[in-house]
Amino acid sequence: MSDVIIENPVINSPFKEPQRHFRFAEAGITNEIVERRRVSAYFIPIAQPRKKGKQLGFETEWTKDRIKENDEINRIRSRVALWRDRDYPDISKLTRRLLQYWTNPDRDNKLFFCQIEAVETAIYLAEAAGKGGDGWVANLLREASDEANPGLFRIAFKMATGAGKTVVMAMLISWQALNKLANPQSPLFSDAFLVVTPGITIRDRLRVLLPNDPQNYYRERDILPPDLLEELGKAKILITNFHAFLLREKGSIPSFNKAMLLRRGRPSPFTESPDEMVRRVCRELGPKKNIVVIDDDAHHCYRRKVEADDEKLTGDERREAQKRDEEARVWVTGLQAVQAKLGIRAVYTTVSRPFDPPKTGKIAVKVINHYGDEVMKVFRVE
């Protein structure tokens, strides 16, 4: 890869759609500016041979021959852009009010273009695509979701660190909940949310998604005007970490007696059933059905495919891979249990990693952003 010095890598405003990008040549990045937005694409990592006692490495030179365009994503992006240029037809009055509030050029607390476009895409898929002749988008995403996560309709947002994914979560919750509260009979929306995180620290950090939190983002980041913030307080929002999906032991009985009472091949009467687990985890949602799930940092949540490289793992590597696989299984099967018990309107997934090594499994999305001009999109689940 050739050495290139780029004096000023920031060539786009974060508040407007990118209009320029640095060109890639055969040897890699250049300092030549192309006067149009970069298409959605990712770089194919090439696995290097494993040396004894060392982890698998990746060759990551960003050369032109490794670029793979995301044809479906680019097509979706163009349809969303056309819909935006037409002033958002086929949406509810409440959705229009929110979009006007978020895109107001006179806002003091401006939102990034990537945040706006991400929520625009979710809105387009739910409210406008079918009416505008783009039903193929939902069909494409649903087929890919069913292949990877049967029964779960997952829409993924890839975002770089610092792009503000928590703000996007707040926007998604506002749009869904306020539309449902305004029109309770609508099948498109929900006012009940289950936010699932990979750990307790992140769970606590996401308390800003609760409207009654003193530092909630709806007020702090000016996501909603005061009257709509008061209305949002009627929604049910539950934040938990995926460990809550683990089936717990019920009651206390000596291990010897328990072993005597267990029947081989039958579910243990001393362990929660999936239905019981869902009742415990989602108790705060009350009788709500058809909820919206938001997965945070969902590269931890995937259906792993067994690969030939698995056979080469030994010792600590194998134990680490097995641990990650089990955590991913708990997360996915937990969501499937919620779907079976309560019904899920949609799963909105955020992820910040472009890929994981084969030893830890495939993640749910495949797109990588570069140089800050591509930070969040809807991606096909694989």
DSSP letters, 202-268, are HHHHGGGGSTTSTT-HHHHTT-S-HHHHHHHTTSEEEEEEGGGGSPPB-S---HHHHHHH--TTS--
Does 204 reside within a domain?
yes
Does 11 reside within a domain?
no
pLDDT at res. 245: 94
Does 309 reside within a domain?
no
Residue linked to tokens 């590269």: 299
The CB density around residue 64, as the number of other CB atoms within 10 Å, is: 14
Model confidence at 358, in pLDDT bands (50, 70, 90)?
very low
- Residue 153: pLDDT above 80? yes
pLDDT at res. 65: 75
Does 3 reside within a domain?
no
Residue linked to tokens 């749910």: 364
Tokens found for residue 379: 């991606």
pLDDT at res. 43: 76
**Domain carrying residue 63:** 21-50+58-250+263-304+314-379
Q: What is the pLDDT of residues 174-216, one digit of tens each?
A: 999 999 999 999 999 999 999 999 888 778 899 999 999 999 9
Mean residue pLDDT of the chain comes to: 82
Q: Are strands 236-241 and 291-295 parallel, antiparallel or unpaired?
A: unpaired
- Residue 329: pLDDT above 80? yes
The whole-number average pLDDT for the span 154-179 is 91
- Supply the pTM of this predicted model: 0.83
Backbone angles phi, psi at 31, to 5 degrees: -95, 15
Q: Are strands 291-295 and 344-351 parallel, antiparallel or unpaired?
A: parallel
Residue linked to tokens 């996401």: 206
Helix, strand or coil for residue 200? Answer: helix
Does 31 reside within a domain?
yes
In Å, what is the CA distance from 291 to each residue of 272, 275, 282? Answer: 22, 16, 10
pLDDT at res. 336: 93
The whole-number average pLDDT for the span 155-182 is 92
Does 113 reside within a domain?
yes
Residue linked to tokens 């792993």: 304
Model confidence at 6, in pLDDT bands (50, 70, 90)?
confident
Backbone angles phi, psi at 67, to 5 degrees: -80, 130
The DSSP call for residue 271 is B
d(CA 22, CA 302): 33
d(CA 125, CA 135): 8
Higher pLDDT residue, 328 or 282?
282
- Residue 116: pLDDT above 90? yes
Q: What is the pLDDT of residues 229-257, one digit of tens each?
A: 999 999 999 999 999 999 998 766 555 55
Helix, strand or coil for residue 128? Answer: helix
Alpha helices in 106-192 (DSSP H): 113-123, 135-148, 165-182
Segment holding 329, helix H or strand E? helix 315-341
Tokens found for residue 203: 């769970």
Question: Which range is most confident: 26-40, 147-161, 346-360?
Answer: 26-40
Say how many domains are in the chain: 1
Residues 6+ apart with CB under 8 A from 204: none
